Structure 1
Amino acid sequence: MSDWAAVERELDRWSETARTATLWWRDDDAAARTPALDRLLALAERAALPLALAVIPQAAEAGLADRLADRSPGIRVLQHGFAHRNNAQPDAKKCELVATAQRPEIADELRQGLALLAELCGGRMVAALVPPWNRIDAGLVAELPALGFAGLSTYKARSSAEPVPGLRQINCHVDIMQWRPQRRFLGTAAALRLLVDHLEARRTGTADPEEATGILTHHAVHDEDAWRFLEDLLTRLAGHPACRFVTAEALFAAQNASVPASSPLSASGVA
């Protein structure tokens, strides 16, 4: 069986049980208008799919907001940390969002970042935090609602839909990039295995069935293989009757992310 056939088979199993596989698309590390960003947004517009763009507040430029204002109705902005700065100890994995005891100013930075992006991006802003490197101190998570955040997104299947009261967590599960030992496209077989594994885990109940499956991209570092795969993936998923792409607003509004197959869909399968 081919890698793509395995995806089709898994989605067909969702159809057989009258369920719809909800998905979402998050892209990290946006800050400026670049040729790679233009290519990403053009792909989202061509596919008519919603995209959650994780923007670094301290680095965000007016040109980015101008590009989004120009068109891109399905694009929403999430907050990607503050400066994408590593604040971890030398022997620890990279992490910007460390404990406030280690970096007392982190709470003020997050508030400032939220205000910066709200001013820059206006109604496109969704108050959800995407930690750089997908890492955040557990104690800081508890502070996020008081800082103005309604959502949190990291990587791999969540352990709780609401890690603290008032905070909705929706993660990503399919990173199409390989980071070590060489930064490049992960490969079709490996990327599709991640997709099938999470969909199967949701369907069988070994992962939270209500957590939408997240596609994670990083436009600034895509090679041509990554771009080609992404376009193929989005086209195939959007065209399958068992799939529905969900907007960032719906995801982080603490609504049920599991949608009955009989629910009305737009022509592009977008919620």
Structure 2
Amino acid sequence: MNAFADLDRELARWADEGLEPRLFLRDDDATNPSQELDRLIALARRHLAPVLLAIIPADATPALAARIATEPLVTPCVHGYAHRRHTPDTEKAVELGGDRDVDEVLAELRAGRARLQDLFGSRLSGILVPPWNRIAPAVAARVHEAGFSALSTHSWRPTGTRLSELNTHIDIVDWHGGRKGRSLDWTIAETRRRLGEARVRGGPPVGILSHHLVHDESAWATLDGLLSYLTGDKGLVLRRAGDLLAAQASAGQ
């Protein structure tokens, strides 16, 4: 089956049901300016695609703040604290949880948010992106106490937070297959699948996830091809994370 034709049919179903797809792009693990970050920003400019840039507070530098200060398409947000696991190697990696006391985790998050506020000022989003997209339920239930206004993980699974959630669903890196970039055909098919899931849920936002520092040429080509198809061929507009959260708030979601 043709993945592009399948996606076209899915988009037609959205139109038939009076729904409009709302997509956004999140990129994780930023700390410093780099050639890879420059490439991501150039891609964002080319497709007029806003980027929610998840930044690791413990390692973030003033140079990164200076680099994106004049990039209106890039919105910084907090990515945990140090992206350091607090679980045994035999378990899935978690920073915001593990065997740590919740108050300890929240104190760390407050410190991380304060550090990024010093670097980025009012441009800093209130969104928290947990490292590895994982957060212990006990932390999620209280993360608003650390000053955050929203949470962004991956897929549809609930976290137990009282905050709004703006999650990603389409990861262009195959982490279990050698950390290689997914093919464009796979990514188009996954976009169709995730949009189908969103449609039956009434049309919540669908997020694309990238990691500029680990992209191989396949990942870059796939991200470029996906955005080109969505924003060029199909005429869709990628949204700003803040605008999507504001729309959720006004709708009482």
TM more than 0.5: yes
How many pairs were matched up? 251
Separation in 2 of the partners of 1:123 and 1:179? 34
Moved over 6 A (4+): none
Structure 1: unaligned runs, 5 residues or longer? 259-271
| In structure 2, distance between residues paired with 1:173 and 1:209 | 16
1:180 aligned counterpart, secondary structure: helix
Unpaired stretches in structure 2, ≥5 consecutive residues: none
What amino acid sits opposite 2:189 in the alignment?
Answer: R
Equivalents in 1 of 2:174, 2:99: separation in Å?
31
Task: Quote how far apart the aligned CAs of 1:64 are.
Answer: 0.9
Paired residues for 1:47-58 under 5 Å: 47-58=47-58
Please identify which structure carries the higher helix content.
2
Give the whole-Å Cα distance in 2 for the aligned partners of 1:54 and 1:44. Answer: 15
1:78 aligned partner: 77
Where does residue 194 of structure 1 map in the other structure?
A: 190
- Note if contact 1:3-1:188 (Cα within 8 Å) is conserved in structure 2: no
1:148-187 maps to which residues of 2 (within 5 A)? 148-159=147-158, 163-165=160-162, 167-187=163-183
What is the DSSP-based 3-state SS (H/G/I as helix, E as strand, rest coil) of the residue aligned with 2:220?
Answer: helix
Give the whole-Å Cα distance in 2 for the aligned partners of 1:52 and 1:257: 21
Alignment match, 1:95: 94
Taking structure 1 as the reference length, the TM-score comes to 0.86
CA RMSD of aligned residues (A): 2.1
Aligned to 1:266: none
**2:234 equivalent to 1:235:** no
| TM superposition score normalised by structure 2 | 0.91
Other-structure match for 2:125: 126
Amino acid at match of 2:135: I
User: In 2, distance between residues paired with 1:90 and 1:178?
Assistant: 20
Question: Partners in 1 of 2:177 and 2:15 — Cα distance?
Answer: 38
Residue pair 1:100, 1:140 contacting (<8 A) in 2 also = no
- Residue of structure 1 equivalent to 2:65: 65
Distance 1:50 1:128, change over 3 A: same
> Could you tell me which residue of structure 1 aligns to residue 33 of structure 2?
33
Q: CA deviation at 1:119?
A: 1.2
Structure 2 CA distance for aligned equivalents of residues 145 and 103 of structure 1: 12
